Amino acid sequence: MAKIIKVQKGTKDILPQEVGQWHKLEKNALEIFTRYGYKEIRTPIFEATELFARGVGDTTDIVNKEMYTFEKSDRSITLRPENTAGVVRSFIENGMARLSAPVKLWYKGPMFRYERPQAGRQRQFHQVGVEMFGIKEPTADAEAIMLAVDYLNSLGLNDLEVEINSLGCPKCREEYKRKIKEVLKPEFDNLCEDCQNRYEKNPLRLLDCKVESCKEIFEKPEIQKVIQSDFICEECAQHYSELKSYLDKLNIKYVENKLLVRGLDYYNRTVFEIKSNNLGSQNAVCGGGRYDSLVRNLGGEDTPAVGWAMGMERLNSLLPEIEPEKLDGYIVSNSPADAFAFAQELRAKGVNVEFDLANKKFTKQLEKASKVARFALILGEDEIKVNKVSVKNLSTSEQVTIDRNEVIDKIKA
Ligand code: ATP
Ligand code: MG
């Protein structure tokens, strides 16, 4: 026998018995996001590597370690590790800054990161996300968070924790970064290798480190004092406090977490995450924030923006299983021509129906019907002669013989 080729490490098939949950995630996304005025955008799965280097930031784990990059005709191409950069590219390229603000876009689809596969972490995974352009006011941040909560609630997910923080603006952050570096300097040799590398380039990222020994260091009082200090400037503080007052008004419960800095370089002011206690260690389902300088950094005009992304696999693991739907009817007949014609008649009217393409024995067909359908639609010789059909309800076994045009009423009832 030929050698079997297996699925790649860190990737998964989504099988028919699991796809119901995915349909739900996608259907609710379309429904809820549309309610808030978002339009779907579909951007390519690969982009110029430079887009991510500049758009995600070359001090991030994503760009440094996790990208799937390859050369094709002298071009460096990367499978998208996230989709904000792609959406921003498209926003700029398609002149969407000319549209009246806000421009609200949502997306769903696969992302690729070369990470160590584990529960809740794959190399190909899926995100659903939103990006809103053109509004600097904190109403936009609040609406984005409200939308995330609304979407999660629509999926029956209520037991979640919203964490927020403000990273300030590049101006007030400079001083904060300096202080963080200063207070961590004596500990430099005790930091993990990643943190040592980030120390110069992206000191805020240290706060986000998941390594126990680093977390312990950050617990030290003198370091906590800097972390917990209110470093943000007056304008940023005003923005942040308005955001919180909107969240209060909307009854969105949140906790403030000064350690929340998010992995990506481009955030300013608001950052947030939504976590579930039912997910184990990879417990973040949603991450987002404000990124007012990204559009400009990627060559567009100054455009404030806010957005978030959710990991669909993690959402999925929180949803109850959804049984695949049964067919409305399965036609049982030993006259394939009649069965086929009847099937087409019903399909044209929106009924989900199959018949036995292999024309097996009548009893075999009945057995199959009871497995896959709610009703057996029996076209035996007798029924065919008088142009009728016997409809058997496969859960109650009740059976009636009726005119064929009455079938829809019977099975939709
Ligand atoms: P993490 O801290 O879990 O690595 P992240 O900060 O890298 O998350 P984001 O880039 O903010 O994640 O992506 C948003 C969401 O996408 C995450 O909250 C998570 O639900 C999901 N996600 C990120 N990476 C993966 C992955 N490798 N596999 C599955 N889901 C992922
Ligand atoms: Mg990550």
What was the pLDDT predicted at 97? 95
For ligand 1, atom 5: residue with the closest CA = 263
HSE at residue 36, side-chain half, CA atoms within 13 A, is: 26
The rounded Å distance from CA 311 to ligand 1 centre is 6
116 — alpha (psi -120 to 50), left (phi > 0) or beta? beta
CA dihedral 213, 218, 223, 228 (to 10 degrees): 180
Give dist(CA 26, CA 44) in Å, integer.
19
Q: Provide the pLDDT for residue 87.
A: 98
Write the CA distances from 139 to 145, 247, 259, 365, 379, integer angstroms: 10, 9, 24, 60, 62
Calculate helix-pair angle for 19-35, 138-154, nearest 10 degrees. 140
Question: H helices within 250-311, ranges in order?
Answer: 294-297
Q: How far apart are CA 189 and CA 208, in angstroms?
A: 18
Separation of alpha carbons 261 and 263, rounded Å: 7
Spatial separation of the C-alpha atoms in residues 204 and 208, rounded to whole Å: 8
Residue 151 Cα, ligand 2 centroid: separation in angstroms?
22
pLDDT values of the chain reduced to their tens digit, one per residue, 413 residues: 999 999 999 999 999 999 999 999 999 999 999 999 999 999 999 999 999 999 998 888 899 899 999 999 999 999 999 999 999 999 999 999 999 999 999 999 999 999 999 999 999 999 999 999 999 999 999 999 999 999 999 999 988 999 999 999 988 888 888 888 898 899 899 999 988 888 888 888 888 888 889 988 888 898 888 888 888 999 999 999 999 999 999 999 999 998 898 867 678 999 999 999 888 878 899 999 999 999 999 999 999 999 999 999 999 999 988 888 999 999 999 999 999 999 999 999 999 999 999 999 999 999 999 999 999 999 999 999 999 999 999 999 999 999 999 999 998 87
CA distance 277 to 116: 22
Question: What's residue 366's pLDDT?
Answer: 97
Ligand 1 centroid, distance to 11 Cα (angstroms): 15
User: Minimum-distance ligand to the CA of 287?
Assistant: 1
Q: How many CA atoms lie within 13 A of 325 on its CB side?
A: 10
| CA 119–ligand 1 middle distance (angstroms) | 12
d(CA 157, CA 320): 10
Tell me, in angstroms, the distance from the centre of ligand 2 to residue 243's CA. 26
Residue that is written with structure tokens 């030929």 in the block: 2
**Residues linked to residue 289 through DSSP beta bridges, in sequence order:** 271, 307
Ligand 1, atom nearest to 273 Cα: 18
**Residue spans of beta strands (DSSP E) within 134-192:** 160-166
Number of neighbouring beta carbons within 10 Å of residue 291: 26
- Which of 121, 157, 308 most suits a substitution to test ligand 1, by most atoms within 8 Å of the C-beta? 121
3-state helix, strand, coil in the chain (%, to 5): 45, 25, 35
Nearest atom in ligand 1 to the alpha carbon of residue 127 is: 16
DSSP class of 208:
G
Residue 347 and residue 331: Cα distance in Å, rounded? Answer: 12
Which residues lie with the beta carbon below 6 Å from any ligand 1 atom? 82, 113, 115, 120-122, 125, 127, 263, 282, 284-287, 309-311, 313-314
pLDDT value of position 12:
97
Strand partners, 331: 355, 377
Rounded distance between C-alpha atoms, residue 367 and residue 392, angstroms: 12
Dist. CA 315 → ligand 2 center (Å): 16
Report which ligand 1 atom has the smallest distance to the Cα of 288: 11
pLDDT for 202 equals 83
Residue keyed to tokens 């955001």: 243
Q: What is the pLDDT of residue 174?
A: 86
Helix ranges, 4-44 (H): 19-35
**If you ran DSSP here, which 8-state letter would residue 232 be given?**
S
Nearest atom in ligand 1 to 62's CA = 7
Choose which residue among 111, 165, 259, 276 to substitute to test ligand 1 binding: the one with the highest number of ligand atoms within 8 A of its C-beta: 111
* 279, 161 contact by CB (below 8 A): no
Three-state DSSP class for residue 238? helix
pLDDT of residue 57: 87
**Distance of alpha carbon 269 from alpha carbon 307, whole angstroms:** 12
Q: How many helical (H) and strand (E) elements, i.e. helices and strands, does the chain have?
A: 16, 16
Name the packing angle between helices 234-249 and 138-154 (round to 10°). Answer: 30
Other beta carbons within 10 angstroms of residue 157's beta carbon come to 17
| Beta-strand runs (E) in 49-112 | 68-72, 75-79, 103-112
pLDDT for res 226: 86
CA-wise closest residue to 129 among 312, 281, 267 = 312
Decide if 148 contacts 308 (C-beta within 8 A): yes
| Ligand 1 atom closest to 120 (CA) | 29
CA nearest ligand 1 atom 6, residue = 263
Nearest listed ligand to the Cα of residue 115: 1
